[in-house]
Structure 1
């Protein structure tokens, strides 16, 4: 796998997404940050501001999102925009990597969980680093299985918690190091 032939898609927020972006830059992976008007980013390298029409293509009923994630999402415009943006990330990236917490119902905590549910729905290769147990898991045959994933596709998503632990950061760093054998660019 040649890093220069790969593209990372993310939302540019602080924490996991910024760490994925920093690693992409370090390894010369192309990077695309999806955002919307008036959304404050932590990392905006190669940002694409989604138009109203683009956002509508990623629209989903908040009731459906709440049901799929076993939690309540209220009809707020910002949350809707974030979920619509996540749709574009998962739609563009074939493989999905998330840093977060896997809950007992097999969903992932927080808004990050929407990327996980969409990846399941779109049948994408899906990997979650669970910061509570310091382990990568891959979604296979309807369950989470311990794994040591690698970036195996030219397009991938990096998403996750804003509250990235040192261990979560180390997991992202190791994912890139294991996936791209050559030394990172300095």
Structure 2
């Protein structure tokens, strides 16, 4: 795949999303960061500020989000907008790459987990770098399987925790190296 044909869809938020963006820039990958008015983000390259109507396209009942994730989420306006913007990331990128923690119920911790749930619902290839286990996992045949992923599609989403470990940064760098280094 030609680097100039690839596009990262992310959110520009501190942590994993900002790191995905820095690597996209380093490797010459196009970048789109979805956000909304009043949201404080770290990375502003390729910024796409979603209008209220665009945000509504990603709207889902917080009861559904809570039921799917097996935990309660606040119903405050900002959390809803974050959930709506995650829809745009996952809907735009075919492969979905996430940094976080896989929980015993097979969901992923925090709002990041909604991106994973959407990827599974949309039947997208999804990969989670599990920070405690220091390994990549993919959802295959209804279970998490350890893998060594590559970015192989021209559109991909990158999201994850704000609390990025050094190991996770190194894993993201290695992912981009495997995927985009000249042979």
TM-score in same-fold range (> 0.5): yes
Name 2:107's counterpart in structure 1. Answer: 107
Q: Write out per-residue CA displacement over residues 73-130 of structure 1, whole angstroms, 9 at most, x where no aligned residue.
A: 1211000000000000000000000000000000000110000000000000000000
The DSSP-based 3-state class of the residue aligned with 2:157 is strand
The DSSP-based 3-state class of the residue aligned with 1:163 is coil
TM-score (norm 1): 0.97
Unaligned runs of 5+ in 2: none
Q: In angstroms, what is the RMSD of aligned CA positions?
A: 0.8
Unaligned runs of 5+ in 1: none
TM-score (norm 2): 0.99
How much does 1:182 deviate? 1.9
Instruction: Tell me which stretches of 4 or more aligned residues in structure 1 moved more than 3 Å.
Output: none
The DSSP-based 3-state class of the residue aligned with 1:12 is coil
Name 2:171's counterpart in structure 1. Answer: 171
Matches within 5 A, 1:1-186: 1-182=1-182
How much does 1:18 deviate? 0.5
CA distance in 2, matches of 1:140, 1:41: 32
